Amino acid sequence: MPATSTCHSLCTAPLRGASPDALILLGALIVALIGACGGPAATDDPADAALGGDLGGDLDGGDAHDAPQDVAEGVDAADADDLVEGGDAEIEDAEVDAIEVDAEVDPIPPGPWRSALYPEGWAPGLRDEAGRGLQDYSFAGYRNGEVEPGAQEGAPVLDVGAFGADPSGQVDARAAIQAALDEAGRLGGAVVLVPAGLYRIDGVLTISASGVVLRGEGAERSRLSFTTFEGMAGRGHLTLRGALEEGPELALVADAEAGASEIEVAPEALGALAVGDDVAVGWVITEAFVEAHRMAGVWRAFNGTWQPFFRRQVVAIDRLASPPRVALDVPLRYPALVRDLASVRVERGAVREVGVEDLGLSNAVAWDAAWDQDQVAVLELDGVADGWVRRVASFPSPAAPAEGDGAGAHLQSSGVRVVRSKRVTVADCRMELPQNRGGGGNGYLFELRQSGEVLFRDCVARAGRHNFIQNWGFGATGCVWLRVHSSEGEAWVGRRGPHTIGRSELHHSLAMANLVDDSRFDDGWDAVNRKAESSGAGHTGTENVMWRVWGVGKLRSFQFGHGYVIGTDPALDVFTTPIPGPEGAEEAWDALSPWSGAAPDDWLEGPGRADDLRPASLYEDQRARRLGR
């Protein structure tokens, strides 16, 4: 750890003389007290109280799983109560170029400063002798950030009024708007215009054809009010949906290291690959992979299955090389090992060049009705390549209660959810005030699942359970949260409370090499080992970077392998160093902690010095370098 690091000092003296039995008793008392107050059935994180002051972290441990509704089957609810049984195997280190970075970095002088890991002459692949370094995050966003999103030039415009959509909010406009969307798809792409007005939608709207853009005249003027709640669990009211299908498995014949832009396949695989193909590079969650990450007994939901980690496009094929080499548009973020049966599969069926812009959205309903359904998003993108959401905001739902619980609410549960997608931009959006902020995957305002190179830019989230979140499953890689603002996060235990602080976070299954950039968290951000919570989330992140982070909340970074916190607000509480446990109970303390198995300590540089860190945005600086701007 550099000398500029500071360990957040907390007083643990009252516990230092405690015996292991006393510690267990103390944990039981804490659980009993929470239970008496209507809290969760169990929490296995006594150290979390010391780190955040909110017993039980996000309190998901005793709630229903937050897995997607259609894939949670087969996961035993009892699994979430198991404690971590950490192995001691180390993940294989990738061979990388080294740069000279003194392990004892000199104190940062006053004035503008640069990270030791991002010097003026930085280039992708630079690493210090300990293997620490920053990846290139500039590929995030629509068309890899190379152009601003927008409808095709000269695309026809279809006014929903011409299809009979009523703008008064008194009559269901679903069928009329859906007819306009379907016609836009039939035309091969078009802009569907929603003029100013309030449109009641008794059902769902779906965009399933490429080139279709749903556009209003501003989030304050053109508003869609969704009223349906029954049968909506795990669904979105407005959905941009592809029909993804994976081709046959084409095995890698050699390991591909982190940072590699090429993979090697067998000659017989060439007949199934062509330049321009969308592909997924992934591997099986083997016993060896689980052990290497010290997750035996914790990771269970995906064990033994092939998982897509990186969604890419083939840009070249060297058929004369031996073995043949396939070049990809974006480097890999983590080693893909033959040991884990790494392979590439062609992906077909993504919906492309689709967007939603300049609209207001709401779907809050009666309070109890909202709590009876889990994971209801107002807007979902599933199977999208090169799509966008911009200048979209939630608003007080006309279907919400006029007074009492849920009065003034905007959303039933979730805001914008991005699933199995790549190269998506979500910009200048605001989501707030959901009703259901309980366990089971609710209250997520900007949610990311199994997607790569997604950019959340200049977005605001208020009063969700987890305002910004990566959730459920492997494969969240290369994504960026740029200038986002999270505040008033609340994690509820049941529809009548109580509640505690809800932090934004990496939530599940080893999110890889993502960037939180020049953003503000007045509630907090977590990248920790969540152990058995949420169907065995375990280590939630590795190689993720928190760059120039602001706020008055708490930032906790205990990532597997390397993690990075560079430049923070003086008012932000930062935790990257484990807190010593009671004498005689150190092993048990570590096993139950959010840093269990996360060694070495994450890189902390420039605490309290965010204002002077240069560049102000790592993503924008890297993008300018890559594009020569």
Residue 213 falls within a domain, yes or no? no
**For 102-160, what is each residue's pLDDT tens digit?**
334 558 999 999 999 999 999 999 999 999 999 999 999 999 999 999 998 899 999 99
Residue 612 falls within a domain, yes or no? yes
Band the pLDDT of 161: cuts 50, 70, 90. Answer: very high
The confidence score (pLDDT) of residue 579 equals 86
**For 495-505, what is each residue's pLDDT tens digit?**
998 999 999 99
**For 71-90, what is each residue's pLDDT tens digit?**
333 333 223 223 222 332 22
Helix or strand (DSSP H, E) at 624:
helix 618-627
Residue 535 falls within a domain, yes or no? yes
The confidence score (pLDDT) of residue 36 equals 33
Q: What is the mean pLDDT of residues 9-25?
A: 38
List phi, psi (to 5°) of 64. Answer: -60, 155
For residue 323, which of 268, 249, 247, 278 has the smallest C-alpha distance?
268
List phi, psi (to 5°) of 28. Answer: -65, -40
Q: What is the mean pLDDT of residues 594-616?
A: 96
**For 471-521, what is each residue's pLDDT tens digit?**
999 999 999 999 999 999 999 999 998 999 999 999 999 999 999 999 999
Collect all residues with Cβ–Cβ distance below 8 Å to 526 and sequence separation of at least 6. Answer: 57, 58, 503, 504, 505, 506, 540, 555, 556, 594
DSSP E strands in 329-429: the ranges are: 343-348, 351-362, 377-382, 384-394, 414-419, 422-427
Range from 66-80, 136-150, 306-320, 451-465 carrying the lowest mean pLDDT: 66-80
Count how many domains the chain has: 2
Are 562 and 131 spatial neighbours (Cβ–Cβ below 8 Å)?
yes
Band the pLDDT of 174: cuts 50, 70, 90. Answer: very high
Do 608 and 483 sit in the same domain of this protein? yes
Range from 47-61, 337-351, 461-475, 488-502 carrying the lowest mean pLDDT: 47-61
How far apart are alpha carbons 3 and 554 in whole angstroms? 22
Which carries the bigger pLDDT value, residue 380 or residue 35?
Answer: 380
Range of the domain at 335: 245-348
Q: Which of 325, 348, 371 is the last residue of a domain?
A: 348
Q: Which two tokens stand for residue 166?
A: 């009523």
Q: Which two tokens stand for residue 320?
A: 């004369």
Residue 275 falls within a domain, yes or no? yes
Residue 434 falls within a domain, yes or no? no
Band the pLDDT of 66: cuts 50, 70, 90. Answer: low
The confidence score (pLDDT) of residue 464 equals 98
Do 132 and 251 sit in the same domain of this protein? no
The confidence score (pLDDT) of residue 116 equals 97
Coil/strand/helix, residue 290:
helix
Do 252 and 133 sit in the same domain of this protein? no
Residue 231 falls within a domain, yes or no? no
Residue 437 falls within a domain, yes or no? no
How far apart are alpha carbons 217 and 309 in whole angstroms? 38
Are 376 and 282 spatial neighbours (Cβ–Cβ below 8 Å)?
no
Q: What is the mean pLDDT of residues 27-31?
A: 40
Which carries the bigger pLDDT value, residue 56 or residue 238?
Answer: 238
The confidence score (pLDDT) of residue 51 equals 53
What is the amino acid identity at position 606?
G
Asked if pLDDT for residue 458 goes beyond 50, the answer is yes
Q: What is the mean pLDDT of residues 595-618?
A: 96
User: How confident is the prediction for the chain on average, in pLDDT?
Assistant: 87
**For 289-303, what is each residue's pLDDT tens digit?**
999 999 999 999 999
Angular region, 143: left φ>0, alpha ψ -120 to 50, beta rest = left
**For 391-445, what is each residue's pLDDT tens digit?**
999 999 999 999 999 999 999 999 999 999 999 999 999 999 999 999 999 999 9
The dihedral built from the CA positions of residue 104, 109, 114 and 119, taken in this order, carries a sign that is negative
Q: Which of 348, 373, 399 is the last residue of a domain?
A: 348
- Residue 261 burial (CB count, 10 A): 17
For residue 419, which of 521, 350, 359, 357 has the smallest C-alpha distance?
350
Could you tell me the CATH number of the domain that includes residue 252?
2.40.30
Whole-prediction pTM value? Answer: 0.88
Residue 406 falls within a domain, yes or no? no
Q: Which two tokens stand for residue 183?
A: 């016609």
The confidence score (pLDDT) of residue 69 equals 53
Q: 49-86 in b/e burial notation, b at 16+ Cβ within 10 A? A: eebbebbbbbbbbbbbbbbbbeebeebeeeebeeebeb
Coil/strand/helix, residue 546:
strand
CA-based radius of gyration for the chain: 24
Do 609 and 492 sit in the same domain of this protein? yes
Q: Which of 293, 315, 348 is the last residue of a domain?
A: 348
